[in-house]
């Protein structure tokens, strides 16, 4: 069985694992108050070129999204997001669980626009509706698409014009930063948002994400909020150690290398699929692909490859999702394309 | 100034006020544990022909909606409602404030259908999205339209098929029950829902609504929930006294008489508007009307009449909302039509 | 049956009722945006001698306490209160329902002290415990006792020293303001707190309380919060009308007259009880008394008088609670003392 | 520097780490739906001798406590716990953050008793106070003490008598199970509770705990709840892999061996301290010790040993906390005792 189901179906990249092994017997203080977390935070501040930002190491992406939003929103405030956004579509109402509405927009390609933000704000008139205060986007989006730098600039300008915070979910940030279409580097991501996170889980870590905040957003009490939201790890250094391993070396670091690998493997698949005449659901330049295949082909492919059907069958065709990971090998991509080629010829 | 802004712009209907005056010096126990509340609950059980239902007297409509939903939903569950539904559009995120999502549907005429419920359920797949457990509708809807008996039957059947509770917001229930188009009486409302409320505030009371529940929905602890949600009135009998005054006499009671009056006044307006060639936004048979008038006419009318603009101007036309109340007089409706006629001729 | 069970066992004081009757047919805007609420707020600002304060008319005392606390607390913050405080003891966890802890103190006579605040703060060390941010007290306390002006000054100084807000629950504020022991007038109450409310329900209103806030505490969004917490009344003017009737005339107003009457009736009872050799549970100078009577006497008294047993029987004695109200008559107090005298002689 | 600050100051026990290394490149499904989690759950069901229990692998102890309590409590219900309980004292109000009160009891040695439960229930009278529904205890307690089997039986009987669920926080369960005083094995823990967890973090894992529930407690929706509370790990198998390594072999497994080691190291310290005439704060038979030392001695010890001061200095004496871990070596305990002996002689 060859796996294209996700970028979290194996453990850590060997170099990350090596760092955990090497530091395993060290004694440190707990809860993220250790030299590794301190050093990893320093690496991040250098990478984004802003020494003022707060960095917090979090257990996962949903904890980043929810802890941040719940920390900065007043009880009567809401979040604006695409209906395809992870915070709406894949977090079991965790944000509403903290008492806030998500105002959803039907966003083409999973991407919010200044116009969609304006439209969402039309729903807010006075004290009888919640007041939008935070815009949630993902880079890349849940559909694999990316915001270009000009789009991010326009979104952030709109947010500032309308008094909104802008948050970027970077679960697969590496895949965006290193894909061919991209023109927004991590300094842009930092400069054009109020908070974002650098995803580790889907980029070679065992687990863990690095949340980066503009200073003053949470009155210096963000650690209280992490603990209150059940997200503080006793052996917090584990995340620091992994981000040290991932980020040492800036844009030549392991983090970027893993992301480039994911994108390269995806490109091989994409180009092969195009050669086979396959159409795609959306136009993802990153490590998630959504080819639309005949139902019969999908069912046969499943015998040797593990992937998810993305949407229901329609007119005999099924969009599936293929995801590449740090461990995806060229031979696996080739095997997939070869088998598909055979099936398409029949 | 003549008022068509709402059905809550005056105090109580004189007969309701009289009941409050007559009982003012009585001594009773507090928090709704008094003979008036007991008697009013009995009147309601007789009216709906079901002695098993719990009746709770609530301060307002939003407290009914939120207290009920928060009482019956598990933390991971959500509500399905029309995006025009009061619980979504006019309650400042109170439902999300209790930790639950509202999954919204674009509902023509403000009315949910079995098909829209099925579509909303498609968003729920597994533990990664909240589980819909409650359907919220209003009778009449926020757009003044009503569900026919066959529509309610179909909705309730769909809810039972999909394991959902059905709740009916009856803020203006009287207006639905007594309008010409209606074929679902209050026994039907009770039989075809798991909970509903009989709105007092917009039907002649100073304030107060009667929430009616199937037994067992809240483990006999609904009073705990009322108090926890800040909705328990110390002088709780005030609501009991008003509902005694409103409901004594069944379908010939003051409640029905007020509702019929509201609808009659609306009919005078509706027919006059049609004679003047005015078109409407939606097709409300109850005491809310949404005529679409030229912007210039609207601005002149405002000098003598108080009403709300319902949506923004488009192509020089503005939909306004006219609402009739227990205190609306025929002469007021006539005056409006006369003035409008003059303005339309210019 | 003669009622000493509470100060909310009758309707409104006749002069309050008269105001409601007189204004009943007026048309106004809803949700508290009407001339009566505006005028009543003006009367309150004059009474406290501070034109800068926000005034909001609320449905009840619990809504005041919870809406205010939930509006000003950050998610990781907590409230400090006496374990006998209404917010802890009689609101079914409504405050926790909004996500915040109440750190309780064992407070003699129901009164917090600067020392008890310091001790409660010892429980807070770092991000592993919630951060106290608000101190809740009641004037008078739930045990009928009052804070002297010097005590309030010391509490408020301590709060400012420790970065805490001070909130005063004034459910029975009139009874404190007009009792013999009191030396803190309503200007002191305002000056020595960040927010407080003037209780209407237990001082002659049908219902309703006036919440008074220092400006800026809720970013001008307190009305959003009222609606979100389900506390906004459609016919909001009803509370404005009642407070106009209660507060016109300042310290000679109906509000003060009712409170003085409650205290006078309580004094008759207190002095009579003392003459009969009865001891008290606590030392309340206001309209709640807690005489300790033999169990047999209590059971016989219950045949003619309605009151609550305050605590369980101990050594054959039961502390009961007697409350006087706007409607309590001297003859009722005399009848109670006479009957008790007879029973004590046996 | 020698570390006695906690049992989470190093990484994983080498055998646990080895299991992670060995399985690192395997491909599996995510979110805990993998063969390792399945196998580890099977090991746990065998260990407790009950095949009906649900097992969920959680990221940490606070997520276990809060997710379970929030899943089973109705909005108006509360938890009873010792004021020293972790859920009250060290979780930043996370439980209240889900809308529920913790009713605290002053519990000698950190241990609840049937009598303390009865007393806590006295605070609950009717719909005006939250209804206690869950009792939270820890085995061992936060003070290192343990419940004997008879005590657990009495607590569970009391809970069933009063309609309460009993939950056991097993953050350091191994230390309780393997200490000399203990007479309750893990089958007893399971049989005498409705839910408990087997703590991994403080017993040799990198992180992770195994929550064990009686079936039916959460309508088969506990995974929804884990996700909604932000506690679902993408690479969920990591916890399964670790618990396989820890629990294979039952009472001779690595889990028990690590725990025995922790207790042995603590015993060496305890006996040495007693020989030196040191008194203790509480009487812990497990891997946490609370010796009371002269302030001067404490300050000098800090130069070479890392530990926490447990309470403030009083009369020149300070209780400190010493914790032993999987990595604590006999030579470290000896070094501490030697140095202390020298300092005590001066």
CATH number of the domain that residue D147 is part of: 3.40.640.10
- The helix/strand/coil state of C193 is coil
Neighbours of A153 (CB within 10 A): 15
Interface with C, mutate which of A68, A216, A224, A229 (most C CBs under 10 A): A224
CB D20 within 8 A of CB A11: yes
Do D150 and D289 share a domain, yes or no? no
Do B322 and B260 share a domain, yes or no? yes
The answer to whether the bond into C140 is cis (omega within 30° of 0) is yes
**A11 vs D23: CB contact, 8 Å cut-off?**
yes
How buried is B113 (Cβ within 10 angstroms: 0-12 exposed, 13-18 middle, 19+ buried)? middle
The H or E element spanning position D168 is strand D165-169
**pLDDT, tens only, A19-64:** 999 999 999 999 999 999 999 999 999 999 999 999 999 999 999 9
**pLDDT, tens only, D69-121:** 999 999 999 999 999 999 999 999 999 999 999 999 999 999 999 999 999 99
CB D112 within 8 A of CB D118: no
ipTM: 0.97
**A74 vs C219: CB contact, 8 Å cut-off?**
yes
Q: Give the residue from B111, D100, A263, D290 showing the smallest Cα distance to C96.
A: D100
**pLDDT, tens only, C232-256:** 999 999 999 999 999 999 889 999 9
Place of tokens 């206690």: D132
- Residue A14 resides in a domain: no
DSSP D95: H
**Nearest-Cα residue of chain B relative to residue C34:** B9
List Cβ neighbours of B249 (8 Å cut-off, separation of 6 or more): none
Do A264 and A217 share a domain, yes or no? no
Q: Give the residue from D300, D341, D297, D292 showing the smallest Cα distance to D321.
A: D292
Judged against a pLDDT cut of 80, whether residue D215 lies above it is answered with yes
User: How far B203 CA lies from chain C's nearest CA (Å)?
Assistant: 12
**pLDDT, tens only, A178-191:** 999 999 999 999 99
**pLDDT, tens only, D277-292:** 999 999 999 999 999 9
Judged against a pLDDT cut of 80, whether residue D346 lies above it is answered with no
**Residue B23 belongs to domain spanning:** 15-251
**pLDDT, tens only, D155-189:** 999 999 999 999 999 999 999 999 999 999 999 99
Give the tokens for residue B202. Answer: 């917009």
Do C281 and C296 share a domain, yes or no? yes
Burial B62-85 (b: 16+ CB within 10 A, else e): bbbbbbbbbbbbbbbbbbbbbebb
Cα(C31)–Cα(C97) distance, integer angstroms: 25
**C226 vs A75: CB contact, 8 Å cut-off?**
no
DSSP B160: H
Do D228 and D261 share a domain, yes or no? no
Chain B residue numbers touching C91 (CB-CB < 8 A): 227-228, 230
Do D233 and D170 share a domain, yes or no? yes
**Which residue of D71, D127, D224 is in closest CB contact with B127?**
D224
Do C192 and C303 share a domain, yes or no? no
| Residue B89: per-residue pLDDT | 96
C21 pLDDT band, cuts 50/70/90, is: very high
Burial D249-269 (b: 16+ CB within 10 A, else e): eeeebbbbbbbebbbbbbbbb
In whole angstroms, how far apart are CA C305 and each of A309, B323, C297?
Answer: 73, 49, 12
Q: Which of A250, A266, A283 is the last residue of a domain?
A: A250
**C230 vs B24: CB contact, 8 Å cut-off?**
no
B58 pLDDT band, cuts 50/70/90, is: very high
| Residue C312: per-residue pLDDT | 86
Q: How far is CA C173 from the centre of its chain?
A: 5
Beta pairing, strands C77-82 & C102-105: parallel
CB C112 within 8 A of CB C135: yes
Judged against a pLDDT cut of 80, whether residue B250 lies above it is answered with yes
Cα(C108)–Cα(C119) distance, integer angstroms: 14
User: Angle, nearest 10°, between helix axes B237-247 and B14-23?
Assistant: 130
Cα(A301)–Cα(A135) distance, integer angstroms: 39
Chain C residue numbers touching A98 (CB-CB < 8 A): 75, 99
CB A330 within 8 A of CB A305: no
Q: Which residues from B are below 8 Å from D when comparing CB atoms?
A: 70-71, 74-76, 98-99, 127-128, 130-131, 219, 221, 223-228, 232
Q: How many Cβ pairs closer than 8 A exist between chain A and D? A: 142
Q: Give the residue from C274, C304, C306, C305 showing the smallest Cα distance to C292.
A: C274
The answer to whether the bond into D140 is cis (omega within 30° of 0) is yes
- The helix/strand/coil state of D311 is coil
CB D212 within 8 A of CB D197: yes
Instruction: Identify each DSSP E strand in chain A by its residue range.
Output: 2-3, 54-58, 77-82, 102-105, 131-138, 165-169, 195-199, 209-213, 279-280, 288-289, 291-294, 305-306, 308-309, 317-323
Cα(A260)–Cα(A267) distance, integer angstroms: 10
Cα(A63)–Cα(D107) distance, integer angstroms: 34
Neighbours of C45 (CB within 10 A): 17
Interface with B, mutate which of D77, D127, D221, D236 (most B CBs under 10 A): D127
Q: Which of B203, B221, B251 is the last residue of a domain?
A: B251
Give the tokens for residue C3. Answer: 């009622």
Do B153 and B189 share a domain, yes or no? yes
CATH code of the domain covering residue B291: 3.90.1150.10
Q: Give the residue from B204, B252, B206, B237 showing the smallest Cα distance to B47.
A: B252
| Residue A54: per-residue pLDDT | 98
A112 pLDDT band, cuts 50/70/90, is: very high
- Residue A274 resides in a domain: yes
The sign of the torsion formed by the CA atoms of B288, B294, B295, B296 equals negative
What whole-number percentage of chain B has pLDDT above 90?
A: 97
**Which residue of C75, C96, C128 is in closest CB contact with D99?**
C96
Do C154 and C212 share a domain, yes or no? yes
Average pLDDT for A141-154: 98
Q: Which of A217, A250, A283 is the last residue of a domain?
A: A250
- The helix/strand/coil state of D132 is strand
| Residue D229: per-residue pLDDT | 98
**pLDDT, tens only, A229-273:** 999 999 999 999 999 999 999 889 999 999 999 999 999 999 999
Helix count and strand count (H, E) for chain D: 14, 14
What whole-number percentage of chain D has pLDDT above 90?
A: 97
HSE, CB side, 13 Å, CA atoms: give it for residue D298: 21
C329 pLDDT band, cuts 50/70/90, is: very high
Give the tokens for residue C222. Answer: 């307190």
Chain B residue numbers touching D221 (CB-CB < 8 A): 74, 76, 127, 131
**Mean of per-residue pLDDT scores for chain B:** 97
**Which residue of D9, D23, D97 is in closest CB contact with A27?**
D9
Place of tokens 């205890």: D137
Helix count and strand count (H, E) for chain B: 14, 14
Average pLDDT for A62-83: 98
**B130 vs D228: CB contact, 8 Å cut-off?**
yes
Beta pairing, strands A209-213 & A279-280: unpaired
Interface with B, mutate which of A101, A133, A310 (most B CBs under 10 A): A101
User: Angle, nearest 10°, between helix axes C237-247 and C14-23?
Assistant: 130
DSSP C129: S
Q: Give the residue from C37, C42, C87, C34 showing the smallest Cα distance to C58.
A: C37
User: How far C77 CA lies from chain D's nearest CA (Å)?
Assistant: 8
- Residue A12 resides in a domain: no
**Mean of per-residue pLDDT scores for chain A:** 97
**Which residue of A98, A127, A224 is in closest CB contact with C131?**
A224
**A90 vs B128: CB contact, 8 Å cut-off?**
yes
Do C202 and C287 share a domain, yes or no? no
Place of tokens 């195994």: D210
B346 pLDDT band, cuts 50/70/90, is: confident
Instruction: Report how many domains make up chain B.
Output: 2
CB B165 within 8 A of CB B196: no
D313 pLDDT band, cuts 50/70/90, is: confident
Judged against a pLDDT cut of 80, whether residue B95 lies above it is answered with yes
| Residue C313: per-residue pLDDT | 87
Place of tokens 């893990």: D186
Q: How far is CA C299 from the centre of its chain?
A: 29
**pLDDT, tens only, D5-15:** 999 999 999 99
**pLDDT, tens only, D135-156:** 999 999 999 999 999 999 999 9
Cα(A21)–Cα(C15) distance, integer angstroms: 80
CB B130 within 8 A of CB A96: yes
User: How far D327 CA lies from chain B's nearest CA (Å)?
Assistant: 38
pTM: 0.97
The sign of the torsion formed by the CA atoms of D83, D87, D91, D93 equals negative
**Mean of per-residue pLDDT scores for chain D:** 97
| Residue A138: per-residue pLDDT | 98
The sign of the torsion formed by the CA atoms of C168, C174, C177, C181 equals negative
**B93 vs A101: CB contact, 8 Å cut-off?**
yes
**Which residue of B70, B131, B227 is in closest CB contact with D224?**
B131
Cα(C64)–Cα(C176) distance, integer angstroms: 19
**Which residue of D3, D17, D62 is in closest CB contact with A230?**
D62
The H or E element spanning position B36 is helix B35-48
Give the tokens for residue B4. Answer: 């068509």
B137 pLDDT band, cuts 50/70/90, is: very high
Do C81 and C38 share a domain, yes or no? yes
User: How far D227 CA lies from chain A's nearest CA (Å)?
Assistant: 6
DSSP D114: H
| Residue D295: per-residue pLDDT | 96
Judged against a pLDDT cut of 90, whether residue B301 lies above it is answered with yes
**D97 vs C75: CB contact, 8 Å cut-off?**
yes
List Cβ neighbours of A166 (8 Å cut-off, separation of 6 or more): A134, A135, A137, A155, A156, A159, A192, A193, A194
**Which residue of B63, B235, B306 is in closest CB contact with C201?**
B235
- Taking every pair of Cα atoms in chain C, the longest distance, rounded to a whole number of angstroms, is 64
How buried is B97 (Cβ within 10 angstroms: 0-12 exposed, 13-18 middle, 19+ buried)? buried
A106 pLDDT band, cuts 50/70/90, is: very high
**Which residue of B10, B62, B97 is in closest CB contact with C26?**
B10
**D127 vs B227: CB contact, 8 Å cut-off?**
yes
**pLDDT, tens only, C263-322:** 999 999 999 999 999 999 999 999 999 999 999 999 999 999 999 999 888 899 999 999
**A8 vs D238: CB contact, 8 Å cut-off?**
no
Q: For chain A, what's the residue count?
A: 346
Judged against a pLDDT cut of 90, whether residue B312 lies above it is answered with no
CB D323 within 8 A of CB D260: no
| Residue A313: per-residue pLDDT | 87
**C96 vs D100: CB contact, 8 Å cut-off?**
yes
| Residue D345: per-residue pLDDT | 86
Judged against a pLDDT cut of 90, whether residue C110 lies above it is answered with yes
CB A287 within 8 A of CB A265: yes
Do A312 and A222 share a domain, yes or no? no
- The helix/strand/coil state of B305 is strand
Give the tokens for residue C124. Answer: 């807070």
| Residue B81: per-residue pLDDT | 98
């Amino acid at each position: 069985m060859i796996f294209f189901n996700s970028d979290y179906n194996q453990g850590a990249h060997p170099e990350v694992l090596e760092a955990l092994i090497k530091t395993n017997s060290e004694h440190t203080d707990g809860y993220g108050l250790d030299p590794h977390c301190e050093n990893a935070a320093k690496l991040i501040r250098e990478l984004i070129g802003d020494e003022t930002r707060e960095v917090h190491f979090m257990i996962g992406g949903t904890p980043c999204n929810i802890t941040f939003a719940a920390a900065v929103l007043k009880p009567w405030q809401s979040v604006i997001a695409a209906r395809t956004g992870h915070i709406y579509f894949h977090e079991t109402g965790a944000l509403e669980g903290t008492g806030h509405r998500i105002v959803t927009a039907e966003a083409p390609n999973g991407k919010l626009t200044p116009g969609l933000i304006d439209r969402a704000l039309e729903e807010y008139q006075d004290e009888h509706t919640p007041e939008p205060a935070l815009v949630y986007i993902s880079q890349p989006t849940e559909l694999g698409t990316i915001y270009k730098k000009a789009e991010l600039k326009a979104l952030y300008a709109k947010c500032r014009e309308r008094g909104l915070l802008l948050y970027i979910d970077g679960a697969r940030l590496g895949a965006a930063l290193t894909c061919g279409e991209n023109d927004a580097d991590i300094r842009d991501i930092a400069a054009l948002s109020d908070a974002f996170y650098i995803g580790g889980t889907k980029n070679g870590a065992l687990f863990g994400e690095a949340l980066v905040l503009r200073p003053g957003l949470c009155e210096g009490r963000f650690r209280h909020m992490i603990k209150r939201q059940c997200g503080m790890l006793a052996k917090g250094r584990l995340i620091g150690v992994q981000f040290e391993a991932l980020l040492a070396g800036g844009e030549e670091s392991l983090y970027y290398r893993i992301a480039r690998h994911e994108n390269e493997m995806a490109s091989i698949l994409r180009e092969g699929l195009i050669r086979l005449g396959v159409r795609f659901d959306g136009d993802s330049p990153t490590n998630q692909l959504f080819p639309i295949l005949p139902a019969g082909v999908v069912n046969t492919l499943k015998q040797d490859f593990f992937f998810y059907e993305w949407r229901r069958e329609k007119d005999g065709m099924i969009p599936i999702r293929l995801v590449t990971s740090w461990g995806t090998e060229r031979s696996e991509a080739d095997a997939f394309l070869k088998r598909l080629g055979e099936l398409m010829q029949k």
